Structure 1
Amino acid sequence: MDTTSDDALRKRTSQSTAKTNGHDNIPKTNGVTSDLLKKHGHPAGEIKHGTLTQIVRAILLTTFLNCCTFSIAATQFLGAPLYWYNRDYYYAYMALTKQSFGICGTAGTKVFAPTKVRVSWDPELKGQFRVSSTGRLETSFPERLVYVANHQVYTEWLYLWWIAYTSRMHGHIYIILKESLKYVPILGPGMMFYGFIFMARKWVSDKPRLQHRLEKLKTRHSGPLSGSSSLDPMWLLIFPEGTNLSRNTVKGSAKWAEKQGIPNTRHVLLPRSTGLFFCLQQLKGTVDWVYDCTIAYEGTPKGGFAPEYFTIRSTYLQGRPPKCTNMYWRRFAVSSIPLSDAKEFDEWLLARWREKDDLLEQWYNTGLFPSDVNSADQSKGISKTGFIETEIRLNSWLEIGQIFVVLAAAALVVNVVLKFFGLFMTLK
């Protein structure tokens, strides 16, 4: 979240698309992307599906997402009265519907944009990653944490929600979003049920709203899915850059660096600290760790911008998702973070982001993030080099049934009641 950035970090300009040498959806901006395409080609190769197939895929994907979101939204409204009957059951019920959306996103990605993931981590996280006997990533992160990441493409939140899924925490994720999203039909009310935090990027109005939501995240319920700790499970996802890395936002970040009189970064935007600082202050004593993920997409050339290659169309319709999504994980004890002084925290966060910038420089030069070789364990699916390579997928396709089970049961009950009513009227 970014509550102090200038307008340059929030502006989007419409860009024309090019269809050159079989590569489309690439903006014609200063000729830089075109030059990189000629030199490197598209990171995911040529278009795999023609126009007709893309239309069919769009229909199928839209149908699947609409069915899932409608079913989840209806399930939420059916369970809303629980709020006045029993709060413990209400929050457990909503956590189940949040799991359903995580399942929907993971299933949709697996079918329409299958993506390999290469994961590595700081030595301090040894033992928190393994591969199941069926080849799925499993993580053992804490029940309560704040996690941050650099922001490159619009679908990043799907990958990070999947990480929560690997820890069985996909029903307890909370995301800070821009306020306009809550007005999206069906999805907006659904995210409000989820307890997501909507921000207008006006600190005067955002601060009390954020404080209210954070107070909610410091509660304890004793119902199902309430976790094993003294507080409810919670993964709070924040993108400190406030927006994704693009040609326009890089310019805004450079202007900000010049204004502040500090060196600019190469592969990330300068982070804004106000929102994260406030969250950690409010959650202090209830959260022990900040987890940090550095993300990079295979094939994106140095100087290129991932959103210009991996658009929604190219990723989900043309069959050109990232060949590999690379993740490097670190964590920082909240007790070690300076939370008593805003300026010290700003310096701390900027230092972490410069480290992230260095990690990405290594990745651009070698194609790999650092790895913990001492974590190598074939029994846990960790290679000799300390990496885990897996893919985004569900534990079982049967989990999709969870999305529709409540609505199907409600429909069955209504059908039975109507039949009995019809029978009664006939006998009468």
Structure 2
Amino acid sequence: MTTDKLEPAPPDAGMPMPSSDAGITKKPIEAHPAGRVRHGRWMQILRGLALSVYLNTCVVIIFATQVLGAPLYWINREMFYAYIALTKQSFALTIITMTQWWGPTTVRISGDASVAGQITKTPDGLVQFNFPERMVMIANHQIYTDWVYLWWAGYANSPSMHGHIYIILKESLKYIPVVGWGMMFYGFIFMSRKMATDQPRLAYRLNKLKIPRTGAHGKKYLDPVWLLLFPEGTNLSGNGRRKSAAWAAKSGLRDPEHVMLPRSTGIYFCLRELKGTMDYIYDCTVAYEGIPRGKYGEQYFTLSSTYFQGRPPKSVNFHWRRFRMDEIPLEDQAEFDAWLRERWYEKDALMETYMSTGRFPPLENDKAAAADYIETEVRTKHWFEFTQIFVVIAAFGLIVRSVLNAWSKFWV
């Protein structure tokens, strides 16, 4: 993980500079969507160190837990995959608690009629999603940490799906020591962005997601899977927007204003491979409060801003829709290209609504008393849940200690 250089804003950051007596007006300093820097240089350094210690400790512990369980792969495959799902839950708890403690933010959720009744607020102020156990999830890609908030949605689902998230990543990430190796245990899919190279490995990984398991009494079942895809291929930026505009001009297409044109080849291949084993695509449109029109989230919500300076997004906004897989044109790629592009134009219109009003369209629900939006926060249901991360290693340590004590007594 990389962090931005810690540069606290000057005392008047976010405020216009007054005119001098000579009549020269200094250029106003642009306000940050999350307000002023809340922590000075030394506090930022301390927060950075604390976060680094917590994150790296958890990552090392989780990887060690994975290594301890690796022999299960040759003993019992089903037990192995269940064990790895628990370690994936541990990583989800790591990033959720990291966000809860260092970068707390409000999440505002709405959706159209296709998800009516599937998003509810719980008595403790959290949200519960009732999405299926097997689905493809797609979203526009605003900033690098989009996947953190979407992984949290898996945690908030009933049943919880944070142990069954699968993400497609750049191939280079798997070589990061410990973190990359851990993601390989998770069954994440690494791509070189060359379809000739990627297609065989993608087919291999997707095939693993549709292999039936044998449960009690010999009953066959499919593992829970949430496959997260960002069809734009990268997060929204000035360079990405220029490429999208150039592609639109070259192809004679309308270039959207708030999102980039999606790339259909990868998602088309995934949907074709998974057809018949999943019923729905869930589409999430993501927006961050306060980003000015024509600007990009990556300019404001860096890792440094979010976790060190105390300037996380004031709110992360989700608008959900659902599409049936059997209603999507998957027999012809040109038809699918057009289908996906229309969904992205609709997404662009949703973003325009958000930019103009500060809200997505309200939640369409089948309950008359339901609120227009559900507001909650990224946090765990119980404060002690993060201790799950250390359970296996702690138990292993106790077992080793007991064995060594028994061994020493035997030889005394």
Which residue does the alignment assign to 1:85?
Answer: 75
Are residue 301 (structure 1) and residue 292 (structure 2) matched? yes
| One-letter amino acid of the structure 2 residue matched with residue 336 of structure 1 | E
CA gap 1:94/1:377 in 2 versus in 1, 3 angstroms? farther
CA gap 1:18/1:135 in 2 versus in 1, 3 angstroms? closer
What secondary structure is seen at the aligned counterpart in 2 of 1:174? strand
Q: Is the 8 A contact 2:135 2:226 kept in 1?
A: yes
Are residue 61 (structure 1) and residue 24 (structure 2) matched? no
- 1:360-388 CA deviation, whole Å, 9 max, x = no partner? 0010000010113544565xxx42xx210
Q: Structure 1 residue 102: deviation in Å?
A: 0.7
Unaligned runs of 5+ in 1: 1-13, 25-36
Are residue 284 (structure 1) and residue 270 (structure 2) matched? no
Output the CA distance in 1 between the equivalents of 2:260 and 2:5: 21
The 5-angstrom pairing of residues 29-178 of structure 1 reads: 38=28, 41-167=31-157, 168-178=160-170
The 5-angstrom pairing of residues 193-208 of structure 1 reads: 193-208=185-200
Output the CA distance in 2 between the equivalents of 1:15 and 1:366: 34
Output the CA distance in 2 between the equivalents of 1:346 and 1:17: 43
Output the CA distance in 2 between the equivalents of 1:345 and 1:366: 32
Are residue 216 (structure 1) and residue 208 (structure 2) matched? yes
| One-letter amino acid of the structure 1 residue matched with residue 299 of structure 2 | E
Are residue 238 (structure 1) and residue 257 (structure 2) matched? no
- 1:229-285 CA deviation, whole Å, 9 max, x = no partner? 831110000000000001111111111111111111100011000000000000000
| One-letter amino acid of the structure 2 residue matched with residue 305 of structure 1 | Y
CA gap 1:202/1:348 in 2 versus in 1, 3 angstroms? same
Q: Structure 1 residue 415: deviation in Å?
A: 1.1
* Aligned-pair identity (%): 52
Q: Structure 1 residue 417: deviation in Å?
A: 1.4
Output the CA distance in 1 between the equivalents of 2:292 and 2:396: 51
Which residue does the alignment assign to 1:353?
Answer: 344
Q: Structure 1 residue 335: deviation in Å?
A: 0.5
- 1:328-359 CA deviation, whole Å, 9 max, x = no partner? 00011001100000100000000000000000
Output the CA distance in 2 between the equivalents of 1:391 and 1:221: 36
Q: Structure 1 residue 39: deviation in Å?
A: 7.7
Q: Structure 1 residue 86: deviation in Å?
A: 0.5
Which residue does the alignment assign to 2:326?
Answer: 335
Q: Is the 8 A contact 1:92 1:223 kept in 2?
A: no
Are residue 371 (structure 1) and residue 362 (structure 2) matched? yes
- CA RMSD in angstroms comes to 2.1
| One-letter amino acid of the structure 2 residue matched with residue 367 of structure 1 | G
What secondary structure is seen at the aligned counterpart in 2 of 1:397? coil
Output the CA distance in 2 between the equivalents of 1:51 and 1:190: 33
The 5-angstrom pairing of residues 242-253 of structure 1 reads: 242-253=233-244
| One-letter amino acid of the structure 2 residue matched with residue 124 of structure 1 | S
Which residue does the alignment assign to 2:398?
Answer: 412
What secondary structure is seen at the aligned counterpart in 2 of 1:185? coil
- 1:182-207 CA deviation, whole Å, 9 max, x = no partner? 00110111111100000000111100
What secondary structure is seen at the aligned counterpart in 2 of 1:45? coil
Output the CA distance in 2 between the equivalents of 1:82 and 1:16: 44
Q: Is the 8 A contact 2:88 2:163 kept in 1?
A: yes
Are residue 192 (structure 1) and residue 178 (structure 2) matched? no
Are residue 261 (structure 1) and residue 252 (structure 2) matched? yes
Output the CA distance in 2 between the equivalents of 1:405 and 1:354: 47
CA gap 1:66/1:374 in 2 versus in 1, 3 angstroms? closer
Q: Is the 8 A contact 2:6 2:41 kept in 1?
A: no
Q: Structure 1 residue 21: deviation in Å?
A: 6.4
Output the CA distance in 2 between the equivalents of 1:344 and 1:314: 42
Q: Structure 1 residue 223: deviation in Å?
A: 5.8
Unaligned runs of 5+ in 2: 15-26
| One-letter amino acid of the structure 2 residue matched with residue 414 of structure 1 | V
Q: Is the 8 A contact 1:89 1:223 kept in 2?
A: no
| One-letter amino acid of the structure 2 residue matched with residue 49 of structure 1 | H
Output the CA distance in 2 between the equivalents of 1:324 and 1:23: 21
215-224 or 295-304, which deviates more: 215-224
CA gap 1:23/1:210 in 2 versus in 1, 3 angstroms? farther
Output the CA distance in 2 between the equivalents of 1:219 and 1:144: 13
